Structure 1
């Protein structure tokens, strides 16, 4: 049953990532990977929120592992960082890498804080 919940969550998370990336590219262009940045930060906030809730294993399997796991993408983050470097945009690559890590960690912390506030 847990595997099915993970698969169902992933079936929603992957298309959400794809659509978010397409929307960000259409709005901001391809110079900076805003789509991946946005879904990684949003996924970090959601996962932080979920991790701080007293929810059962099924909810975390569906939303945490499945949805957030498919929504966020470390491999694309790495690929896009390398592509920026190869394209001569070293400063942009550094901002992207550092900004993704710092903002993702901050978003996870904020998500946990919100969950703790609403369950207190």
Structure 2
């Protein structure tokens, strides 16, 4: 049953990532901006879920939303490609800013979400 929850969450997370990235791209966001938005919102959601799961949360919440949805919605591999591409094309400042923003914003939002629900 747990594997099915993870799979369902992952399918919804991947679809959501595509929809968010496409919507942001249509509004003029760069690929790196889309990845940042997805990773930031995913970090906040994961923090909310983790905080809630540390208490009396239903047993399906963490596999469905935490592992499945957030795992497929957020995208470390795409972020790595964006950073490497910026560095390889001489946009070192962009690459470093992208790394710092994703790390700092991700940890801050995850912590905020966890604090809200714990």
Instruction: Answer whether TM exceeds 0.5 for this pair.
Output: yes
The ranges of structure 1 where at least 4 consecutive aligned residues each deviate by more than 4 angstroms after the TM superposition are none
Structure 2 equivalent of residue 100 of structure 1: 102
The CA RMSD over aligned residues, in Å, is 1.2
Aligned-residue offset at 1:56: 3.1
Structure 2 equivalent of residue 3 of structure 1: 3
What stretches of structure 1 of length at least 5 have no aligned partner? Answer: none
In 1, the alpha carbon distance for the partners of 2:49 and 2:6 equals: 14
The count of aligned residue pairs is 115
SS in 1 for 2:69: helix
Aligned-residue offset at 1:84: 1.0
Query: Taking structure 2 as the reference length, what is the TM-score of the superposition?
Result: 0.91
Aligned-residue offset at 1:29: 4.1
Indicate if the aligned counterparts of 1:28 and 1:34 stay in contact, CA closer than 8 A.
Answer: no
Q: Does 1:43 align with 2:45?
A: no
Residue number among 56, 59, 67 corresponding to 2:69 in the alignment: 67
Structure 2 equivalent of residue 109 of structure 1: 111
| Structure 2 CA distance for partners of 1:113 and 1:17, relative to 1, 3 Å | same
Query: Taking structure 1 as the reference length, what is the TM-score of the superposition?
Result: 0.90
In 2, the alpha carbon distance for the partners of 1:33 and 1:52 equals: 28
SS in 2 for 1:57: coil
In 2, the alpha carbon distance for the partners of 1:57 and 1:88 equals: 47
What stretches of structure 2 of length at least 5 have no aligned partner? Answer: none
